[in-house]
Structure 1
Amino acid sequence: MAEASGEEGQSSPSWRRDELRQLRRQRRLRRLRRRFHSDPVMLRLPRRDESTAATRTSEVQVGPILETEELLGLAGTSRRRKARTDIFSRLSFWKRVAGILISVAVILLLTWITLNPLILTHVEPCPDDWLYYKKKCYYHSEAMEDWNSGQVSCSAYGASLAVIENHQELSFIMHRIRMVDFWIGLRRKGDKFFWVNGEAFDNNLFHVNVTNDGDCVHIDSNFISTRSCSSLRNWLCTIGQSNPNTNS
């Protein structure tokens, strides 16, 4: 009897260990089941057909270990799918952002080109030895001629004696043209002055010092005056959008 009780005492701890392992396995299985059924990712998994579900149920019933592995496998698969979906979503987002930025850049470029015509078309807008200012070209002669000959010489270039349209152009001519005495395309006819293109002179543009010496207008370092059209001076030609080469 003593020997039997001793053997029973020795076998009891092993049996208890197996029972504890079984209980721990069952608790782990219950936790995985709760996690599986409460996981929103798992709830979005597509449902299998009945035959597949029945087969999987039979596989799960083989034992707690197989069911645990099955749940872990499904959870891992769902997370890998979710990770791939997140990657694709981020890539799609950045593609949309890049497309928007490119569209905005193209719109801004087209707007700038519309408001500011290409400078390349004006790299060399004037012939050699001519000055460029505000869409007009200017040429000051080295030779000296009378007013009519100066107009003929300008016409040979497809230009005319200078027609001044505004105060900015007058300031440019007075400060940038390296001549101190030259003809411009203004001439008196009766009591009025006219430009060589036929337009009447605006008295608000500048004052003409009228002399008894002639009717043709020249600019010197200090004054804009009339002189004899037959006197010899340098001349200033202009060619631009409003200067036809007409003789007078």
Structure 2
Amino acid sequence: MSSNALPPLPEYTTGHCACKRTQYRVQLTNLQEDLRLTAYCHCTSCQRLNGAPFVWTTHWAEEAVQWSSAALDGGSEKMPGSSSSSTAPTLTRTKGGARLIPTVSSSSSTSASTSSSSSAPMLPEATFAPTMAVYETLPGRKWKQRCDYCGTPLGSWNQAKRQWSLWPSTFSRDYLPPPTPTPNPTSTPSTGSSSSSSTTSPPPKEGLPHPTIQQAIRPLHHQFYGWWRTMDIPDKLPKWEGYAGASERVEE
């Protein structure tokens, strides 16, 4: 393999939140069918939920993504918001044990005497990690998810399309390129002359995004690139007011 050639595409990749308690695995062996969309999204929901001007989002078939959790202290951990007290409120859990945060509509008013059980949130039909907090953003259709410990946003579940949204910024960065020798000039005290020797820099604490995966899932366009966008991106990629092919094109 030449120095410019990309390494083979691995069978899968992994990802995690900032504290690494919430993790996932993405199968890459059926990439052409499982990867349904890869784009930069400028919608106001992505802006606000991530505190970012826009996000790089990828949409995956349901069966391509599996979630898991890791206890970092070697023992069982209490979920945020949980309590051993018998008087503590009961939290709704999704399949897999994730904490479901009910969405309260701003257009409806509820009296203090109304029972919370009368408006129980709909459960998404998906398996999440036990360390997740899941909250409904489109009733009965879409749920956003984040780590319930560190708060890292981790994408969403679309029940209508049976697909996951993942943000590649949370993909594992475990690719380590071959070490490159760097010149290390040394001087000889007796003659004052200098000589050059090669040293290898210490390994980084974290690797790089896998170059072959980055190439295979690179963003193909900008979506929801309307007047609400926070900045112009003159990168020559196609730009759409909504989803690609289902909305008006935006000229640079």
| TM-score calculated relative to the size of structure 2 | 0.19
Q: Which has the higher contact order (CA 8 A, sep 6+)?
A: 2
Higher Cα radius of gyration = 1
